[in-house]
Each structure stands twice: as structure tokens, then as C-alpha cells.
Amino acid sequence: MNTAIKIPFFSINEKTGKYEARRTLTEAQIIKAADTIIKKRVTKGFLFSDVVSAANYCRSLLLGLEQEVFICLFLTNQHRLIESEELSRGTIDSASIYPREVVKRVLHHNAAAVIFAHNHPSGINEPSQSDIGITLKLKDALRLIDVRVLDHVIIGDGLPLSMAKTGHL
């Protein structure tokens, strides 16, 4: 059973159980409300059944941050969430990622698969050569311990970019 989440500017219709806006809202307010719902609904054991659900969750964690942040979703073999964790926080245009440290965290969580994500504060959600390079390094390192890299999502303005969908993975 889904329980209602209290979010600003919305109320729950007791008959239908649906959210209703209490006043006219901006696009940014609606998106913020949706992000709040996504963050609260995705808990340990949540099944990421597709790229879109993972990308939306990552977007809710990373959108609007002023510095680049790199996160990892640690998953079971069936793609259920074990934990999401920030692995690096950088500057406005970079965050340092070390494969050794990523492998240590993957082993700590006993993950069978991972999804990486990071934001581009500039708003450009295209992967840089550095993004592609570190993703391939991480994929190679994790392959040695039989852990699958399912995706690397980049959050900028607009829709999240899936490196798996665009062929960069």
C-alpha cells in the first residue's frame, strides 16, 4: 500500500487518494514535488525495472546542485536497491573518482550490479571524454569481480542522459 507523502502546495483527496494542487503552481514547483515523491518512494529493496526509473531517481538526488556530485546505486542481482551513496563531491566542473574506492564500496555492499550517476552543474548533459573514460575504467575494474555496470546517468538540464542508451557504455 502506498502512503501519501506530505509535499508543499499539495493536499491529498481523501476519496481518491490523489494529490491535488492547492493553488496554481510553476513548472519548477511541480518538478520539485515530483522529485520529493520519488526520493521518498525509492527505499531499500526498490526494483529498478528500467533505465527511466533509475534516471528519474538519480535526477531527484542530483538536480540543482552547485558542484559536481558522483553517486552509485548498489543493486542486487535482480536490480533491487541495496543502497545509494555519494562517492565524490567536486567543484563546478569535476569530481574525482577512484576505481579502487568504488570497488571497496561495491564489495562493502555486496552488490551484484551498479548504476552510476553524476550531475553537470553547467546544465549540459552530454558526456565528456573524461566521463566516458572513467566509466570504462570502472566497468573494467568491476568486471574483474563479476559486478555489472548497468548505466551511467548524467543529470543536466532537460531529460537525464543514459550512457547505456546512447552507446557510451
CATH number of this structure's domain 45-162, picked from the four choices 3.40.630.30, 3.40.140.10, 3.30.200.20, 3.40.920.10: 3.40.140.10
* % residues pLDDT > 90 (the chain): 53
Question: What's phi and psi for 96, nearest 5 deg?
Answer: -80, 130
* For residues 134-142, average pLDDT: 97
This prediction's pTM = 0.77
Q: Which set of grid coordinates corresponds to residue 89?
A: 563531491
| pLDDT higher than threshold 50 for residue 1 | no
Model confidence pLDDT, tens digit, residues 68-93:
999 999 999 999 999 999 999 988 88
Confidence of residue 37 (pLDDT cuts 50, 70, 90): low
Cα dist from 54 to 23, 47, 96, 100, 130, whole Å: 30, 9, 22, 24, 22
Domain ranges of the chain: 1-41, 45-162
Confidence of residue 118 (pLDDT cuts 50, 70, 90): very high
